[in-house]
Amino acid sequence: MSKPKILIIGGGYGGMMSAVRLEKELGLNNAEITLVNKHNYHYQTTWLHENAAGTLHHDRTRIMIDDIIDTNKINFVQDTVVEIKKDEKRVILQNGELTYDYLVIALGSDPETFGIQGLKENAMSIRSINSVREIREHIDYNFARYNNEGQKQELINIVVGGAGFTGIEFVGELADRVPELCKEYDIPREKVRIINIEAAPNVLPGFDEELVEYAINNLERRGVEFLVNTPIKECNEDGVLLASGEEIKAATVVWTGGVRGNHLVEEAGFETMRGRVKVDKDLRMPGYDYIFVVGDCALIINEEINRPYPPTAQIAIQQAYTLARNLKTLINGGGKMEEFTFDNKGTVASLGKGEAIGVVGNKKLFGSTASAMKKVIDNRYLFLLGGVPMVVKKGKLKLF
């Protein structure tokens, strides 16, 4: 009897941790595991806003896949998934196709533009190494143009759409980066505008009010402007048009207003809500006992408040553990499947160098304490991914 084939599509938090956990849980003789990813590197999505602002180099954020998995035990295919053939147990790639007995869908997210006109075409988004280094260079370039092209104000206006987690963390990094850019290009700091626009009445919806106030005060003091209750009607080449009719001209518009599940899931014919699949408790696709979904494509209800958990790195990583054990059970002939439960270890939002806010357990954290906790969380993931050597290699360590 041939070994069952497990195919993991996507190398983000969910897919990568699935590969790592399956490598640990299953022996070489039990299954043939293949990971498909667009790039030969994995990256930490939760650090991308720093790369986009230019406060951390993107090479710090990415990790070569063969530094994480043992490619003698897991096949790695660098290719782009173009279609999931769910009933034929095949996945079509740009340069080929693969078959599977078990499929792990870990394709991540697409930006959610809520139908705002021109957003997809004219706004940039924080979503990959390729996209964030373009954002960094886009900002640099427009600052460089300022004194050489008649000091047009729009060149140094930066609009950030969305004041959720990514939006707030991004403007926090920009507040650190802009003074450096001003020095580099001879621009007075007070000329530069960083404008965070949010349709909802508050920034960081769902977050503790005291912490939100701390964040806003901190960021405003560092030169960030907030426009809440302010829906964007349209994004065009010149900037954004607000629902009020006001126009804000800006060479740089970055959209952080939300994500939806990867479009390939919907296109494969699965039932989705904003691109996400409401998975069974054992993380399987309803009706497909050989397909698992983890990460941003998986929708799991927080029964305490009867609303979905937001898609985070934390939940994706935890799902990978459950998934690996359940796949082991299946391959070993079946038995009782484990139900996934989310163990919220806390949330910390960085506001820039040495500044953050967070909740861990029922404790609120501010400033440098929260910032230190953020680094602990980042390093913990690296530990799960590749043990101490990975923390040493890629961690955010303060060595003195």
Nearer to a copy of itself, 144 or 359 (CB): 144
Q: Is 130 in the site for a copy of itself (CB under 8 A)?
A: yes
In the residue annotation, 210 being an active-site residue is answered as no
Rounded to an integer, what distance in angstroms lies between the CA atom of residue 6 and that of residue 104?
8
Q: Is 94 in the site for a copy of itself (CB under 8 A)?
A: no
**Secondary structure element (H or E) that encloses residue 294, with its range:** none
Q: Is 180 in the site for a copy of itself (CB under 8 A)?
A: no
DSSP string for 119-180: HHHH-EE--SHHHHHHHHHHHHHHHHHHTTTTT-GGGGEEEEE--SHHHHHHHHHHHHHHHH
Name the one range near a copy of itself by CB under 8 A: 1-9, 104-112, 144-152, 288-296. Answer: 144-152
Q: How far is the CB of 364 from a copy of itself (least distance, A)?
A: 38
Nearer to a copy of itself, 21 or 136 (CB): 136
Q: Is 128 in the site for a copy of itself (CB under 8 A)?
A: yes
- Cβ distance 43 to 129 under 8 Å? yes
Name the one range near a copy of itself by CB under 8 A: 124-132, 226-234, 251-259, 356-364. Answer: 124-132
Q: How far is the CB of 39 from a copy of itself (least distance, A)?
A: 9
Rounded to an integer, what distance in angstroms lies between the CA atom of residue 96 and that of residue 198?
42
Mark 146-175 with x for binding to a copy of itself (rule: CB under 8 A) and - for no binding. Answer: -xxx--------------------------
Residue 223 burial (CB count, 10 A): 16
**The only residue of 136, 177, 328, 394 in contact with a copy of itself, by rule CB under 8 A:** 136
Q: Which of 169, 198, 266, 355 is catalytic?
A: 169
Write the CB contacts of 195 (distance below 8 Å, at least 6 apart in sequence): 157, 158, 159, 160, 224, 225, 227, 248, 250
- Cβ distance 225 to 196 under 8 Å? yes
Rounded to an integer, what distance in angstroms lies between the CA atom of residue 358 and that of residue 349?
6
Rg of the chain, C-alpha, whole Å: 22
Q: Is 38 in the site for a copy of itself (CB under 8 A)?
A: no
Q: Is 144 in the site for a copy of itself (CB under 8 A)?
A: yes
- Cβ distance 297 to 262 under 8 Å? yes
**The only residue of 134, 210, 267, 289 in contact with a copy of itself, by rule CB under 8 A:** 134
| Of residues 239, 229, 226, 237, the one with CA closest to residue 167 | 226
Q: Is 288 in the site for a copy of itself (CB under 8 A)?
A: no
- The DSSP 8-state label assigned to residue 44 in this structure reads -
The structure tokens 């640990």 sit at 24
Nearer to a copy of itself, 139 or 300 (CB): 139
Q: How many CA atoms lie within 13 A of 264 on its CB side?
A: 20
**Secondary structure element (H or E) that encloses residue 246, with its range:** none
Q: Is 95 in the site for a copy of itself (CB under 8 A)?
A: no
Mark 303-342 with x for binding to a copy of itself (rule: CB under 8 A) and - for no binding. Answer: ----------------------------------------
| Of residues 308, 355, 297, the one with CA closest to residue 13 | 297
Name the one range near a copy of itself by CB under 8 A: 21-29, 125-133, 167-175, 230-238. Answer: 125-133
Q: How far is the CB of 266 from a copy of itself (least distance, A)?
A: 23
Q: How far is the CB of 148 from a copy of itself (least distance, A)?
A: 4
Name the one range near a copy of itself by CB under 8 A: 126-134, 225-233, 269-277, 280-288. Answer: 126-134
**Token pair listed for 341:** 């439960």
Give me the residues that bind a copy of itself (CB under 8 A), please. 128, 130-131, 133-134, 136-138, 140-141, 143-145, 147-149, 184-185
Which residues are known catalytic residues?
Answer: 169
